[in-house]
């Protein structure tokens, strides 16, 4: 059984159908990438998985539990963390305050402090800027803060939406290195990313979305060598 099973998911915005019966699996310990053009349904998929949008039909199973109708705030305590597109840090709050908000479901202060120290080891720049308002950080630092905030909930599954968007090439490489490091530490990753080449290079499995449908799926490295994928998403 997969950690996350999405089956026949249909989602509408009013009369517009955004997802047209998509199905995919995320196995424990894997990095799974969803790639596709703007408007393909990638972010809609993540928002539905994490309870921010409601499905018209289909279902989502997480560790054997049907979470299709469970609101997002309850999913956090079940081990699912979402890093949204555009980072969405609280700009007037400090780095530390942002991080602590990520741990709102946790009751054990000792465990929370241990996680905070782990975050500082993984993101040294956040420790250097601990009392700095988040809005004054660079784009790359804000992305690290958003990822650190998600990790504060001690997730089993982290959902990342366009983590490299708007970042310089140096920060892009750093963010992808961090994603792999998080995965090596045992966190399963569901990744939406327009930089298809980068996403496929670190993923185990991948799915290609077009206009609300999955049109290709399989081993990420094999998809990287697929002529259709090369032509549509990997051309320089």
User: Quick one: CATH architecture of 4-234?
Assistant: 3-Layer(aba) Sandwich (3.40)
Task: Locate 130 and state its tokens.
Answer: 């601990």
Please report where in the chains the tokens 């990822």 appear, as a residue. Answer: 147
The pLDDT value given to residue 235: 59
The pLDDT value given to residue 226: 82
Single out the residue of 154, 156, 147, 155 nearest to residue 98, CA to CA.
Answer: 147
The pLDDT value given to residue 156: 95
d(CA 211, CA 127) in angstroms, rounded, equals 42
Which parts of the chain sit beneath pLDDT 70? 234-236
The pLDDT value given to residue 31: 97
Output the CA torsion 41→47→53→56 (10° steps): 50
pTM of the model: 0.88
For residue range 166-179, list pLDDT tens digits in order: 777 888 888 899 89
Do residues 48 and 60 touch, judged by C-beta distance below 8 A? yes
């Amino acid at each position: 059984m997969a950690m996350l099973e999405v089956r026949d998911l249909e989602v509408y915005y009013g009369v517009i159908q955004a997802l047209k019966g998509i199905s995919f699996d995320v196995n424990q310990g894997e990095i799974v990438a969803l790639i596709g053009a703007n408007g393909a349904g990638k972010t809609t998929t993540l928002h539905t998985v994490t309870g921010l949008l409601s499905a018209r039909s289909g279902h989502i199973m997480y560790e054997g539990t049907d979470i299709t109708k469970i609101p997002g705030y309850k999913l956090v305590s079940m081990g699912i963390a979402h890093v949204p597109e555009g980072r969405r840090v609280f700009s007037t709050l400090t780095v530390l305050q942002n991080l602590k908000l990520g741990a709102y479901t946790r009751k054990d202060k000792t465990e929370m402090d241990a996680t905070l120290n782990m975050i500082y080891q993984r993101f040294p720049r956040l420790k250097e800027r601990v009392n700095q308002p988040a809005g004054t950080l660079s784009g790359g630092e804000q992305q690290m803060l958003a990822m650190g905030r998600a990790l504060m909930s001690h997730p089993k599954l982290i959902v990342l939406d366009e983590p490299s968007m708007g970042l310089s090439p140096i920060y892009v490489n750093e963010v992808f290195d961090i994603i792999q490091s998080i995965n090596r530490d045992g966190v399963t990753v569901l990744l939406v990313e327009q930089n298809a080449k980068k996403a496929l290079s670190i993923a185990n499995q991948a799915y290609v979305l077009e206009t609300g449908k999955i049109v290709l799926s399989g081993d990420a490295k094999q998809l990287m060598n697929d002529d259709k994928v090369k032509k549509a998403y990997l051309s320089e």
